[in-house]
């Protein structure tokens, strides 16, 4: 007799923000779901939301579960009660629509609902409306209690850096952190350092954030903008008067220093956003030849004397190595998985700029030769295009097969859900690029090919005539119109003197494989 196939379900449990009679601890919810799954022969994977948020967009575990549901191998979702998903009726109806669109069931401890069934859909909507009403009543009670507590100086939420909380939830200075906060305001207001320089000084002194990480401009910005540091509890609630309690706790900075910091911040915010972010000549163009990481940039001091004096004129723009170019989350994942680092080394950005513009000059000769060959009939444009279309079509088919392998790998537990979705997204983006390239080849003829080459030639000539140091943002924009990416590789560091590197520009209309 064939073995009965067990249904695959995702379970969801969460901590309740609203302390009512239906609230229960996460561990108890997990226990009930596991008992239910065992009794009803369900294969269960549970997502547990440790935090709490009224907005379902603010629930990472719920969002992760919704993403995994889209893979298409599950039969439904199991919860202790339907309000474990959300109590807001609008969000709940969105959730039910997701289930209906994917043909999934909603399992609760008391009943199984089919969103495609009119009766079940009606009951779910009615229950959702009741849950929303109950939530509003409970929230009103909680809100009244919170307002009374705030007016007495109680601080809700995690204590800001520099403070801890006493048993009555009032803020108290945390000595070693409080001194860092004072130093941040002193460097910003009295020493005239910008936030990047402040972070650099804190790192040199060995100061770390509460999570043990180096300070970033975002972290110092949160410190400089938090009114709590001058002893104030400030809350703004929708539909309620602003609550502003002075001398609610010991201040870490005086009012004069605080006001000066806000004036400086206001002036700095007037700098155009694009200038603040920094657009360099090679921004978003450099890609590691081996690991395919898009490389980033930073300003570095050329000597210790300049670094000690924070002399900005002694700094140069450098390309970071692959590991440093990754985001904080990616670096954390690398550390946890202990993968070997890519051996690609950074270099002074101006060296790559010089090499790239030399390549552009060489490419002008190649373009001229191609224009002459196409115009004279030496190159059969139609044949070349047909060959290219065949190559791209084969690539597209191979990507289909690769996508299927990822899907099979997920079912075999080779890929985690997020990995599988990210990999499939990457494949789809490649296929989309291929489809766009194929579309651009439709109706190709000699004149169109010559015009395209001439346009590229004009752009390169204009680039070569520009003063790239005077307008790096404009240069970068024009480079993106000509070049898709620039592969970069440097095996050795420059510690013992300048060493060689390799760059391979990939021009628009030229596949990376052909360039390599």
Same domain membership, residue 124 and residue 263? no
Cβ-proximal residues to 396 (8 Å cutoff; 6+ apart), any chain? 431, 434, 435
Per-residue pLDDT band at 407 (split at 50, 70, 90): confident
Contact 272, 293 (CB under 8 A): no
Q: What is the mean pLDDT of the chain?
A: 79
Name the nearest CA neighbour of 489 among 350, 311, 293. 293
Per-residue pLDDT band at 515 (split at 50, 70, 90): very low
The DSSP output letter for 312 is G
Mean pLDDT value across residues 169-176: 91
- Other Cβ atoms less than 10 A from the Cβ of 213: the count is 11
pLDDT of residue 488: 94
Domain CATH for 187: 3.90.1750.20
Per-residue pLDDT band at 436 (split at 50, 70, 90): confident
Residue 16 has pLDDT above 90, yes or no: no
Residue 284 has pLDDT above 70, yes or no: yes
pLDDT of residue 196: 85
Same domain membership, residue 257 and residue 369? no
Least confident of 203-212, 236-245, 348-357: 236-245
Q: How many distinct structural domains can be found in the chain?
A: 3
pLDDT of residue 352: 93
Domain CATH for 13: 3.40.50.1390
Mean pLDDT value across residues 46-52: 79
Same domain membership, residue 455 and residue 344? yes
Same domain membership, residue 31 and residue 130? yes
- What is the pairing mode between strands 315-319 and 233-235? unpaired
374-405 b/e (C-beta count within 10 Å ≥ 16 → b) = beeeebebeeebeebeeebeebeeebeeebee
Same domain membership, residue 124 and residue 95? yes
pLDDT of residue 274: 42
Same domain membership, residue 81 and residue 47? yes
The DSSP output letter for 294 is B
Per-residue pLDDT band at 351 (split at 50, 70, 90): very high
Q: State how far the Cα of 228 lies from the Cα of 173, in Å rounded to an integer.
A: 11
Structure confidence by residue, pLDDT tens digits, 181-200? 999 999 999 988 888 889 88
Share of the chain above pLDDT 70, in %: 73
Name the nearest CA neighbour of 307 among 226, 413, 201, 211. 201
Q: Could you list the residue range(s) of the whole structural domain that residue 257 is in?
A: 163-270
Give residue 110's region: left, alpha or beta (phi > 0; psi -120 to 50). Answer: alpha
pLDDT of residue 322: 87
* Better pLDDT: 23 or 226: 226
Same domain membership, residue 118 and residue 26? yes
Contact 504, 514 (CB under 8 A): no
Contact 103, 132 (CB under 8 A): no
Mean pLDDT value across residues 10-24: 65
Q: State how far the Cα of 200 lies from the Cα of 204, in Å rounded to an integer.
A: 6
Residue 177 has pLDDT above 80, yes or no: yes
Residue 304, both tokens: 């210790």
- Assigned domain for 1 exists: no
309-324 b/e (C-beta count within 10 Å ≥ 16 → b) = ebeeeeeebbbbbbee
Contact 30, 4 (CB under 8 A): no
Q: State how far the Cα of 465 lies from the Cα of 458, in Å rounded to an integer.
A: 11
Cβ-proximal residues to 63 (8 Å cutoff; 6+ apart), any chain? 56, 57
The DSSP output letter for 167 is T
- Other Cβ atoms less than 10 A from the Cβ of 425: the count is 10
Cβ-proximal residues to 113 (8 Å cutoff; 6+ apart), any chain? 82, 105, 106, 107, 120, 123, 124
Contact 156, 169 (CB under 8 A): yes
Same domain membership, residue 36 and residue 18? yes
pLDDT of residue 129: 60
Q: State how far the Cα of 342 lies from the Cα of 322, in Å rounded to an integer.
A: 6
Name the nearest CA neighbour of 398 among 423, 422, 430. 430
């Amino acid at each position: 007799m064939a073995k009965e196939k067990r249904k695959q379900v995702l379970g969801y449990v969460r901590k309740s923000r609203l302390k009512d009679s239906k609230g229960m601890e996460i561990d108890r919810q997990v226990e009930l779901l596991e008992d239910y799954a065992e009794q009803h022969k369900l294969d269960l994977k549970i997502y547990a939301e440790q935090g709490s948020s009224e907005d379902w967009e603010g629930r990472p575990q719920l969002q992760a579960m919704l993403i995994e549901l889209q893979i298409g191998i599950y039969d439904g979702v199991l919860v202790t009660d339907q309000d474990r998903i959300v109590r807001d009726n609008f969000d709940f109806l969105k959730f039910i629509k997701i289930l209906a669109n994917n043909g999934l069931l909603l399992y609760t401890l008391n009943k199984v609902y089919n969103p495609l069934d009119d009766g079940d859909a009606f009951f779910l909507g009615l229950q959702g409306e009741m849950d929303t009403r109950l939530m509003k009543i409970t929230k009103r009670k909680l809100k009244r209690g919170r307002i009374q507590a705030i007016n007495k100086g109680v601080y809700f939420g995690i204590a800001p850096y520099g403070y801890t909380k006493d048993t009555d939830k009032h803020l108290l200075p945390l000595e070693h952190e409080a001194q860092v906060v004072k130093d941040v305001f002193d460097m910003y207001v009295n020493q005239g350092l910008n936030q990047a320089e402040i972070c650099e000084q804190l790192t040199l002194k060995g100061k770390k954030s509460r999570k043990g990480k180096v300070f970033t401009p975002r972290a110092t910005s949160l410190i400089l903008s938090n009114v709590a540091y001058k002893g104030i509890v400030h809350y703004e609630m929708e539909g309620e008067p602003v609550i502003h309690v002075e001398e609610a706790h010991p201040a870490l900075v005086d009012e004069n220093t605080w006001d000066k910091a806000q004036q400086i911040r206001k002036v700095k915010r007037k700098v155009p956003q694009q200038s603040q972010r920094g657009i360099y000549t090679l921004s978003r163009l450099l890609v590691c030849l081996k690991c395919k990481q898009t490389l980033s940039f930073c300003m570095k001091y050329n000597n210790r004397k300049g670094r000690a004096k924070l002399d900005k004129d002694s700094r140069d723009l450098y390309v970071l190595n692959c590991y440093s170019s990754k985001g904080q989350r990616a670096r954390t994942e690398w550390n946890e998985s202990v993968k070997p680092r890519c051996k690609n080394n950074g270099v002074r950005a101006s060296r790559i700029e010089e090499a790239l513009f030399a390549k552009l000059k060489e490419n002008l000769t190649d373009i001229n030769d191609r224009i002459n060959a196409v115009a004279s009939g030496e190159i059969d444009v139609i044949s070349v295009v047909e060959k290219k279309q065949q190559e791209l079509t084969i690539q597209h088919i191979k990507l289909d097969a690769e996508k299927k392998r990822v899907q099979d790998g997920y079912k075999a537990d080779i890929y985690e859900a997020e990995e599988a979705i990210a990999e499939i997204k990457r494949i789809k983006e490649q296929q989309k690029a291929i489809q766009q390239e194929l579309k651009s080849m439709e109706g190709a003829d000699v004149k169109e090919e010559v015009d395209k080459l001439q346009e590229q030639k004009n752009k390169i000539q204009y680039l070569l005539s520009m003063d790239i140091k005077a307008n790096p943002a404009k240069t970068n924009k024009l480079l993106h119109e000509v070049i898709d990416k620039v592969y970069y590789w440097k095996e050795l560091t420059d510690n013992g003197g300048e060493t060689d590197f390799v760059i391979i520009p990939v021009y628009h209309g030229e596949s990376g494989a052909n360039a390599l």
